[in-house]
Amino acid sequence: MGDLKKRIFSAVVGGPVVILLFLFLPPKLFFLFIGLVLIMAVYEFSLMICANDRYTVMVLVVISFIPMYLGLGTAWTFWLLFSPALYLLLKLIMTGPGVVSLSINRDIGYSIAVILLAQVFLALPLFFLYRLKEVDSHLPLILLLTIWASDTGAYALGKTMGRHKLAPLISPKKTYEGLLGAMAGAVIVTLLFKNRMGMNIFTSIGIGILIGVLGQLGDILESVAKRVCDVKDSSSLIPGHGGILDRIDSFLFTAPFLYLYFSGIKI
């Protein structure tokens, strides 16, 4: 089966399921669903960066969701700084104080990198996605559909008309034409849902353009990580689409942006 056929098959089979989950899950169950996505994403990130102690790393990152859920921003900041120290303490207990080698030091460095980066670039954006559900139960789905339309526009225009490279050293297939397609696809959806989101036509166009751009930035950020780790996809979990990280990268900046907008920062 070709890559395009795999993409279509996965979208047809998995797309409706994801839409139903985003639309009908109540906030608390949606939070658990987001937590499951985070666990899988952190595991993929650990594999990608070749970090050991993956389960310990996952637990430490997922714990950061607790102060977020309780609205304890100071506690989350403390945990962000404390979790690497706790990992070092656990590593010291498991290996013993006398065991020091280059490989162990490198493994510790990789694991700490995952702990810190995953909390900032995975847990935090996904938490904002959950908070969107609290603002309006339809907002996560609207953002999801906007991102899907943006990705489709980027793929279609980039594939058919892409000539000018956007970030050749990071993601050689990305083009400025694809970026325009991403913005156009996003704008179509935000215009369709402008009344639901309480926006006028100009605001919905602006929000769509920003989501298109921010979604591509999230994709490029993940491409940097994959380039550094020398991998094509974060995993092969979703045929034709890669892994969980490859599917949520567009939320990294769009979910925080949209939540902040609806929380009072108006354009």
For the chain, count helices (H), then strands (E): 12, 2
Average pLDDT over residues 208-219: 96
Least Cα distance to 152 among 222, 225, 215 occurs for 215
Separation of alpha carbons 94 and 199, rounded Å = 55
* pTM listed for this prediction: 0.88
| Per-residue pLDDT tens over the stretch 36-81 | 999 999 988 888 876 677 888 889 998 988 888 887 878 888 898 8
Of 234, 249, 236, nearest to 48 by C-alpha is 234
Q: Give per-residue pLDDT as tens, 117-131.
A: 999 999 999 999 999
Residue 266 clears pLDDT 50, i.e. is over it: no
8-22, 79-93, 94-108, 124-138, range with greatest mean pLDDT: 124-138
pLDDT recorded at residue 4:
62
Q: Which residue, among 70, 178, 52, 69, has the nearest Cα to 115 in the 3D structure?
A: 52
- Which tokens is 236 given? 């092969």
- What pLDDT was estimated at residue 101? 55
* Lowest mean pLDDT segment, chosen from 128-142, 145-159, 217-231: 217-231
- Cα–Cα dist 64/48, whole Å: 21
The residues facing 238 across adjacent strands are 242
